[in-house]
Structure 1
């Protein structure tokens, strides 16, 4: 597009607001001015806090300097940092920092370019509004949680409409192998996702260690099970019981191998403590050598509060078994309580 580099206008950037100060729906709404502000203050915060202990962090990075940038951030540092993240720090497929100018009082951009970004922002907002609208007229959350992958493509469907359109999964495929003809002849998208119970399922999830089906999952839950951090996935009791839908995992009181370190990490964070600190440490796996997992633990509050812990494969398996037994006991307790409640009503 043709730009008159002499015809500049005040960008009128908004006041910086940190993420906790924003409504959740504001986080990713198309707003190119707020995005520019977020880049500036984000880099200023990183510069101010880098290499300094947490106790010395302050709010000085929020003060605007004479160059229009917050904190001690220089224009050269800002452009260099932005260049390292070219895949994310662009707006409408363009690089605004190549045209942004500080006049001494305000940030300026060519008028034609600001009009282009305003049109992009408006059109993007219109498309997002349409993507949030279910056929019943209900409007979903901004984050696109109502977008469903169906046989005819992606549609917007609210949870009540999903429940009407799909059948609940009752566990009738438990014990069926993923490669079984029975699985191939049964469509997963006829059912609701057994984890979130809101979205139509997109695929049959199965145990990669033993090959047995665990149940139908939507695309989001299936991705979360396969790629999310194991210790984070295991925090939800429903997720653990889903993994135990595999016949062999349940009978052997184990979980798929990729989740073993997650169980051990959670156990170490609950039981290990730095002698000078009662705070729960942060644990991460360093290496696995000759049948031994080595973990590093860090209390986060003391410079000496970092140490290592070795856990053998046998010890890890014992932790997993105890974790599985506890999860199944909770399930049995909940089932018993529900049965007593039903008996009382009868």
Structure 2
């Protein structure tokens, strides 16, 4: 801090210019915070009325959050994080999973193999269904394969964002693989969309490759892709950094890894009740 209480000894004009560089620091509660500051010679002060306004604003925000957690059908309050509020075609709604299950139908795959732009899809509303992924919220959109244009199923806004923005392998591990396989040709060919295929291969390398006898899982990063569909990855040992090496994966090897992943997901889980106990002999 400088003698004027500002970081780095900045002049007031320099401090305002630096703070306005980032949108989230420009205001608070819709007010211009910096313009209200006063330097007392020892510390920066804010008007008492402004502090009281911020307290009322924070209280009202908490009240609105609490209201948004209440199911519009049965009135019970949902969790603070990862709540039941979701976007629909007419705005936002809060509805608990049991009420959503009672009000909307589960998607049974009746649009599998149908193009997103077809009249058949346009005649069916996604908000008549539960989200095909979480099965807890009313759907808002028809998700579809951007590579081939086929409908996958109805998704709520949260699930749609999760598919687009979450880490690919994390999405696959959290139940997303079955949803992606709703595109029938993916299921028939035992494959996945390109960005998910790449992440299956990358994760396999991290699980199987090691730096010598080191047991630490390395970090794999795509280095380049050849015209024939092969990939070259750079692997970095997380323990013996900067130890690095490359690994080439051919197109056929990548396809085999993806097929094995899809087959593992499709394999029926063994019911423990049907497993015969081991003999004592």
Bin the TM-score by the shorter chain.
0.7 to 0.9
How far apart, CA to CA, are the structure 2 residues paired with 1:194 and 1:112?
A: 50
Helix, strand or coil at the partner of 2:214: coil
How far apart, CA to CA, are the structure 2 residues paired with 1:105 and 1:96?
A: 19
| CA separation of 1:93 and 1:288: change in aligned 2, threshold 3 A | farther
Taking the TM superposition and a 5 Å limit, the aligned residue runs for 1:59-70 are none
Residues 158-196 of structure 1: per-residue CA shift (max 9 Å, x gap): 111111111112223323332332222221111111110
Residue 195 in structure 1 maps to residue 133 in structure 2: yes
Choose which of 60, 63, 76 in structure 2 pairs with 1:123. 60
Residue 275 in structure 1 maps to residue 192 in structure 2: no
Taking the TM superposition and a 5 Å limit, the aligned residue runs for 1:10-25 are none
| CA separation of 1:109 and 1:84: change in aligned 2, threshold 3 A | closer
**After the TM superposition, which of the residue ranges 147-156 and 319-328 deviates more from structure 2?**
147-156
Residues 110-134 of structure 1: per-residue CA shift (max 9 Å, x gap): 3233223222212222222222222
Choose which of 103, 114, 134 in structure 1 pairs with 2:71. 134
Choose which of 219, 225, 242 in structure 2 pairs with 1:304. 242
Contact 1:132 1:144 in 2 (8 A): no
Deviation of the 1:227 alpha carbon: 2.9
Deviation of the 1:296 alpha carbon: 2.5
Residue 179 in structure 1 maps to residue 132 in structure 2: no
Deviation of the 1:106 alpha carbon: 6.6
Taking the TM superposition and a 5 Å limit, the aligned residue runs for 1:1-346 are 83=19, 86-89=22-25, 90-94=27-31, 96=33, 108-135=45-72, 136-143=74-81, 145-236=83-174, 238-275=175-212, 277-291=214-228, 292-329=230-267, 332-333=268-269, 337=271
**After the TM superposition, which of the residue ranges 152-161 and 84-93 deviates more from structure 2?**
84-93
**After the TM superposition, which of the residue ranges 226-235 and 101-110 deviates more from structure 2?**
101-110
Helix, strand or coil at the partner of 2:207: helix
How far apart, CA to CA, are the structure 2 residues paired with 1:208 and 1:66?
A: 55
**After the TM superposition, which of the residue ranges 217-226 and 301-310 deviates more from structure 2?**
301-310
Contact 1:210 1:248 in 2 (8 A): no
- TM-score (norm. length: structure 2): 0.80
Residues 21-50 of structure 1: per-residue CA shift (max 9 Å, x gap): xxxxxxxxxxxxxxxxxxxxxxxxxxxxxx
| CA separation of 1:180 and 1:298: change in aligned 2, threshold 3 A | same
How far apart, CA to CA, are the structure 1 residues paired with 2:243 and 2:113?
A: 47
Contact 1:168 1:191 in 2 (8 A): yes
- TM-score (norm. length: structure 1): 0.67
Contact 2:89 2:140 in 1 (8 A): no
How far apart, CA to CA, are the structure 2 residues paired with 1:274 and 1:80?
A: 50
How far apart, CA to CA, are the structure 1 residues paired with 2:36 and 2:161?
A: 39
| CA separation of 1:339 and 1:168: change in aligned 2, threshold 3 A | farther
User: What do you get for the CA RMSD once the two structures are aligned?
Assistant: 3.3
Deviation of the 1:97 alpha carbon: 5.6
How far apart, CA to CA, are the structure 1 residues paired with 2:144 and 2:18?
A: 42
**After the TM superposition, which of the residue ranges 99-108 and 119-128 deviates more from structure 2?**
99-108
